[in-house]
Amino acid sequence: MGAAAAMTKRRRRALPMVLRKLLTCAICAVALVALLSGNVRVLPSPGASFAPQFLKQYQRQGSEQSWTKELVPPQISKNSRSSRKINSAGWNLDFDKLWKPPSNRDFVPCISTNYTVPVASQGYLLVHTNGGLNQMRAGICDMVAVARIINATLVIPDLDKRSFWHDSSNFSDIFDEEHFISSLANDVKVVKKLPKELAKTTKLVKEFKSWSGMDYYHKEIAGMWEYYEVIRASKSDSRLANNNLPSAIQKLRCHACYGALRFAPRIEAMGKLLVERMRSYGRYIALHLRYEKDMLAFSGCTHGLSTAEAKELQIIRQKTAHWKNKNINSTEQRSKGYCPLTPKEVAIFLTALGYPTNTPIYIAAGDIYGGDSHMTELRSRYPMLMSKEKLASVEELEPFMNHASQMAALDYIVSVESDVFIPSYSGNMARAVGGHRRFLGHRKTISPDRKALVRLFDKIEQGTLKEGSRFSDRIAELHKKRQGSPRKRKGPISGTKGMDRFRSEEAFYENPLPDCLCRSELPEVNASADMR
């Protein structure tokens, strides 16, 4: 009895100790859950209203407002973060290498100039821009340089309202007009409107010669001030040579493009908001998927389309007067690498590069031709496809809707700020964003070798080649030197002459090196230029 009583007594003493241990473990578990949940955003329900509060905040606090505390949009449920190693195809790959930018080799922006402030101008330069957003951007920056060359006062340019997009936006709807004027004050005098006394004066309306140098503008254009007070440039695209211009003029072009031509405050604010929302999903790819009706109609590329779709594009091309090439062989276009990659081809390409299936991808584009019917393969491999419309509510996008250039400006901002930028076609957007990313430190930009890729894609389609590690190695080898690393701008293709020679050059805004980027150890360094 004595032994039994002693054992019972020990059990009674041990019970509180066990309970204390259990209680301690429970508290630790609760604390751990709370800690983890603090790093996870709680999404509002799909039907929740997402009012455009950022616009009110912007008006209240100014352009320096930080949007880092905005909620993730209601349209997307958050997937798990990407794993550190192993891609969707099953072979090991260094995940960090996929996102690592190329070395900038100590190149930094250097766009300071030593010339004097403008003297009294000889007259006024009116500019009518042409094309979409990025074509207009390049033209505006070139006209800033032209105004300096011919000693003119630049009037805020008129934007193209008659192109394919029929965008009614004015300069101040897309760009920060006041910033543009003040930023260029020491370079070129810029005014908002032509003085009233000159409104009815006779103007010289002239289409400046494409890719012209200093001699043309000094001799043929500046000489017109003797007869006219106002000169109107009827087009602005590609009116200035890419190369062989004075260093100060080249630097002025970069200053205009990357410093003075900043987007309007409300576009900047919305663009930054979209970037923050993309970043909430981790590192992301901006994919400029140029698979839109206007591009396919212009290029004559019909691979993967139905007979009815190909016919529709042919009709559009026939009806567009300024598209001179009406009869295009789609197969030949594609074999030469002149066609944008299809969404399916992009999916195969991304998989071969090694990006896992849970990679967040921002689709920088307008309406994809054919809609969901052509996006099936890309979405099945990469379900985390984002866009303006998915990241923002209808109310937030409403101020920009029905204005193609303003919507394109939002895509531009998200693309420039992305961890990786991949264009499916080397058009104006791809060149502009790629050049901007070079200027900002050679951010990773993968340029698909379309001519080589379509041969491989055709073999896969024919069953003579399979996706896998060997295919992936081949893709990696083709693109190891196509990731945006520093290099000098390419000159004309050997053997070309006349306009074809200029046309074959790499565009100035596609690669501002060496004119606007210098080694950091050199004394003439001005790295203060902001993104926008």
Whether residue 91 is predicted with pLDDT greater than 80 in this model: the reply is no
Average pLDDT of the residues in 94-99: 85
pLDDT given at position 24: 55
pLDDT of the residue at 165: 66
| Beta strands at 361-363 and 285-288: parallel, antiparallel or unpaired | parallel
Comparing 353 with 93, which gets the higher pLDDT?
353
Contact by Cβ (8 Å): 106, 379? no
Any residues with CB less than 8 A from the CB of 131 and at least 6 apart, and which?
139, 160, 163, 237, 428
Indicate whether 77 pLDDT > 50: no
When mean pLDDT is compared over 280-289, 293-302, 317-326, 517-526, the highest value belongs to 280-289
Confidence of residue 64 (pLDDT cuts 50, 70, 90): very low
**Exposure of 283 by Cβ count < 10 A (0-12 exposed, 13-18 middle, 19+ buried)?**
middle
SS3 153: strand
CA distance 27 to 81: 28
First to last CA, the chain: 89
3 state SS for 391-403: HCCHHHHHHHCCC
Q: Does 136 have pLDDT greater than 70?
A: yes
Residue 339 CB coordination number (10 Å):
28
Residue 226 has pLDDT above 70, yes or no: yes
Q: With a cut of 90, say whether residue 189 has pLDDT above it.
A: yes
Q: What number is the average pLDDT over the span 249-253?
A: 97
Instruction: Give pLDDT tens digits for 281-317.
Output: 999 999 999 999 989 999 999 998 999 999 999 999 9
Which sequence spans correspond to the domains of the chain?
123-259, 265-517
Mean pLDDT of all residues belonging to the chain: 84
Q: Which residue spans within 208-360 are E strands per DSSP?
A: 230-233, 285-288
- CA–CA separation, 494 and 167 (whole Å): 39
Whole-Å CA distances, 469 to 98, 284, 446, 475? 16, 23, 20, 10
483 within 8 A of 444, measured Cβ to Cβ? yes
118-122-128 Cα angle (round to 5): 95
Task: List Cβ neighbours of 15 (8 Å cut-off, separation of 6 or more).
Answer: none
Which H or E run contains 16?
helix 2-37
From 4-8, 179-183, 435-439, 520-524, the region with the lowest mean pLDDT: 4-8
Question: What integer is the mean pLDDT of 19-46?
Answer: 44
Ranking 76-90, 178-192, 412-426 by mean pLDDT, the lowest is 76-90
* DSSP conformational letter for 68: T
User: What pLDDT is attached to residue 89?
Assistant: 44
Q: For residue 373, what pLDDT band results from cuts at 50, 70 and 90?
A: confident
Average pLDDT over residues 331-347: 96
In a 13 Å sphere around the CA of 235, the CA atoms on its Cβ side amount to 13
Residue count of the chain? 532
Contact at 8 Å (CB) between 292 and 425? no
Range 382-390 average pLDDT: 97
pLDDT digits (tens, 9 = 90+) for 481-492: 999 999 999 999
Buried b (16+ CB within 10 A) or exposed e, 75-87: bbeeeeebeeeeb
Q: Which of 71-80, 339-348, 469-478 has the lowest mean pLDDT?
A: 71-80
SS3 253: helix
Q: Which range in 69-78, 291-300, 515-524 is most confidently predicted, on average pLDDT?
A: 291-300
- With 80 as the cut, is the pLDDT of residue 73 above it? no
For residues 78 and 101, the model is more confident at 101
Angle between helices 404-416 and 133-149 (to 10 degrees): 90
User: Is the per-residue pLDDT at 525 higher than 50?
Assistant: no
Residue 20 is predicted with a pLDDT of 57
Q: Which residues of 31-66 are buried (b: 16+ CB within 10 A; e: fewer)?
A: eeeeeeeeeeeeeeeeeeebebebbeebeeeeeeee
- From the CB of residue 105, how many other CB atoms can be counted at a distance below 10 Å? 12
Among the listed residues 297, 298, 332, the one whose alpha carbon sits nearest the alpha carbon of residue 451: 332
pLDDT score recorded for residue 274: 98
Of 32-36, 193-197, 360-364, 383-387, which gets the smallest average pLDDT? 32-36
CA-CA distance, 41 to 82, in Å (whole number)?
Answer: 17
Give the pLDDT confidence score for residue 2 in this predicted structure: 52
- What are the distances in angstroms from CA 138 to CA 130, 149, 240, 280, 380? 10, 17, 10, 32, 37
In the three-class reduction of DSSP (H, G, I as helix; E, B as strand; rest coil), residue 211 is classed as: coil
pLDDT at 22: 54
* Arithmetic mean of pLDDT, 128-132: 93
19-23, 128-132, 380-384, 481-485, range with the lowest pLDDT: 19-23
What average pLDDT score do residues 216-242 get? 96
